[in-house]
Chain A
Amino acid sequence: MDKTGNIYSFITEHLREFYTYTAFYNMTLGHIVMIAIGLFFIYLSISKEYEPLLLIPIGFGMLVGNIAFTSGLTIGIYESGSVLNYLYFGVMQGVYPPLIFLGIGAMTDFSALISNPKLMLIGAAAQFGIFGAYTAALLLGFSPAEAGAIGIIGGADGPTAIFLTSKLAPDLMGAVAISAYSYMALVPVIQPPIMRLLTTSRERVIRMKPPRSVSKLEKIMFPIIGLLLTTFIVPSGLPLLGMLFFGNLLKESGVTKRLADTAKGPMIDIVTILLGLTVGASTQATTFLSSQSLKIFALGAGSFIVATLAGVLFVKFFNLFLKEGNKINPLIGNSGVSAVPDSARVSHIIGLEYDKTNYLLMHAMGPNVAGVIGSAVAAGILLGFLS
């Protein structure tokens, strides 16, 4: 009888102990909120097809990161020695972003930019969003390094945002990365109202000259000259710009097809999976849910709006100096933010709404890829000044 009693208490005691290890026991309201946001991301990516390649890994990562557990089991992303912590190393040390840039370089066709180089200036103008957010962040009491990391959200370039945050303010990584990728996914929602607001019906139907054909030699020379010119000015942008132009040379040289295919295919896919999942998992409610994160989200939205605004207004300003026939459709101004190719697609779709035969996609790709270069240069400057 005694023995039975002992076994009974032994079992109940251990079951009770086991219960304390479960997520049901450790769950807080914050975890539930974060899981709900993760599920919302997954919903958006599947039903609305908003950046599914990013939002599915991030959304699922948010579920993974917010399964509550007892600390000390070496399973959490912030517990050194855990598997997730090892994978997160690539985010914290800025390893993944240059690899993503290699893939982007290998899949980007810079022809639109080479054929009409003046479109590069739109890519520069859209970087105003970064510095608008930087100023606002300083006013909200963030340190200059933190403000730099928050400002880069306005570049609309996830890898660049992660790279710079890993160097300037690693503590803000989760909030900055989630904010950057969320707004990139919401480009089709955020940008169109601003574009409509700032343009007249006459401007929206401006037809641009079709881009000229670009020779192979020009395409090969672009990454080489581009690298030398940009990194001589901003060497701190080397990890991103170096990999971007290297990837592009692999593509354009025509003799390294296998390497280019790997860079733009399996490699970028693997890195995207690791990056998305770990960034999502880094939003553990215990570290992520704070008023600071909310401020970062608000500043991120603001910087996106300013970037779009600056791009469109710059084209309108630029048109004052261009002859009739050479004018630029201001609807491509939004694509100066480097959310490739989403913002260019937005330009195209909005353009088609007003003229069914005016195809703006190729023209919009010019400032779009210039935006990638511009945001990497801006990141280099911030890194140089604030690190």
Chain B
Amino acid sequence: MMAEIKRTINLAGAFIVLVLVLAGGRSSAQSIADLRINEILVINDSNYVDDYGKRSGWIEIFNTAYNTVDIGGLYLTNDMTNPTKYPIPTGDPITKIAPRNYILFFADGLPTRGIQHLNFTLTETNYLALFAGNGKTMIDALKYGEQTPDVSYGRINDGHAEWGFLDKTTPAANNFTGEIVTSGDKFLLLDPYGVAMAFIAMSVVFGALILLYIVFKNTKQLYSINFKTLFSKKGKEPAPVKATKEDISGEVNAAIALSLHLYVSELHDHEDAVLTIKKVARTYSPWSSKIYGLRNLSK
């Protein structure tokens, strides 16, 4: 009876652990912590139009992760005292944000128009926050000051910490609209023929291999130190050091090894011309049975 109870407890424990692991795995796989409020437009006079042809303030959320994140089940709010003001519905394909992609919400106070339409506007307060499904964990929040009509306020680069008024409104698009200068382009400006690159790179390649050369040239002696003898207790006579000839070439070693091998395994060197007949024991196997090797004639 006791054993059965114990087994039941163990099973329940294992089940709980499994559920916790799965739940943990799910939450980390979703990585809702990677979501960021990326850009907002508070006063929309002549800017982006929603799917009803109306203009309203909007909020852009950016998925900074390299995997899809479902924003369904999370909360958006403009009220510090009510973190669960707008629950984002679950189970809708719209709420699944592709890697490094965006979702827009319209802050028009008209939630009956669809799941992207919030039950508040951005002009009511100067606060906006995104909360996790438990309604307690804040994922991202923003306090904004006075806003200009049709000028959006957002992160200068998608997902980065620095905020400011953007030159262009970029709903569901990259916030940075300037020319991207790669490090390669910078190199080309300063080094159009690649001479500096060749000089720097060859210096580094030579530097790395010279370093290896110096290390391996000088550490050869280190390997031959017998640390056991070096740190042996006082009083004990150190073992007599055998004179070893260093730098024996591989060719010499190969010659010694070959002669030893020939000595040990080349039995024909010592043939004495005596023939012997040795009985070879063969274990029985049905595969080698004589019966199967004969043709059975019909009687």
Contacts and interface: CB of A to CB of B under 8 A. Distances in A.
Contacts of B202: 124, 127-128, 131
Nearest to B185: A144
Contacts of B248: 212-213
Interface string A105-125: 000000101110110110111
20 contacts: A111-B250, A120-B213, A123-B209, A124-B208, A138-B188, A144-B185, A147-B194, A210-B251, A212-B249, A212-B250, A213-B249, A215-B223, A218-B223, A225-B212, A225-B216, A225-B219, A229-B211, A229-B215, A233-B211, A373-B209
Interface string B182-209: 1111011000111101101110111111
B198 A134 contact: yes
B213 A221 contact: no
B107 to A, nearest CB: 36
A186 interface: no
B194 A134 contact: yes
Interface band, chain B: 35 or more
A117 B217 contact: yes
Nearest to A137: B194
B209 A221 contact: no
Contacts of B252: 210
A117 B216 contact: yes
B197 to A, nearest CB: 6
Contacts of A386: 182-184, 187
B223 A135 contact: no
A138 B198 CA distance: 12
Contacts, number: 136
Given A134-B197, A229-B212, A374-B205, 11 more contacts: A111-B250, A113-B216, A117-B212, A121-B213, A124-B209, A131-B194, A143-B185, A144-B194, A210-B252, A217-B223, A233-B211
A131 B211 CA distance: 21
A378 interface: yes
Contacts of A148: 184
A131 B216 contact: no
Contacts of B217: 117-118
B209 A374 contact: yes
B210 interface: yes
A222 interface: yes
Nearest to B193: A135
Interface in B154-203: 182-185, 187-188, 192-195, 197-198, 200-202
Contacts of A373: 208-209, 212
A135 B220 CA distance: 40
B194 A135 contact: yes
A144 B211 contact: no
Q: Which one of B187, B194, B201, B207 has the greatest number of beta carbons of chain A within 10 Å?
A: B201
Contacts of A377: 204-205, 208-209
B289 interface: no
Given A138-B193, A212-B248, A212-B250, A234 B204 contact: yes
Interface string A214-249: 110110011001100110011000000000000000
**DSSP majority for the B interface?**
helix
Contacts of A134: 194, 197-198
Contacts of A123: 209
B228 to A, nearest CB: 14
B288 interface: no
Given A117-B213, A215-B223, A221-B219, A145 B184 contact: yes
Interface in B220-240: 220, 223-224
Interface string A140-167: 0001110110000000000000000000
B247 interface: yes
A385 B197 contact: yes
Contact of B208 (A147, A214, A217, A229): A229
A188 to B, nearest CB: 26
B208 A370 contact: no
A377 B203 CA distance: 11
B28 interface: no
A370 B193 contact: no
A147 B182 CA distance: 14
B276 interface: no
A54 interface: no
B148 to A, nearest CB: 38
A127 B205 contact: yes
A184 interface: no
A338 to B, nearest CB: 12
B253 interface: yes
Contacts of A125: 206
Contact of B193 (A121, A139, A212): A139
A205 interface: no
Contacts of A218: 220, 223
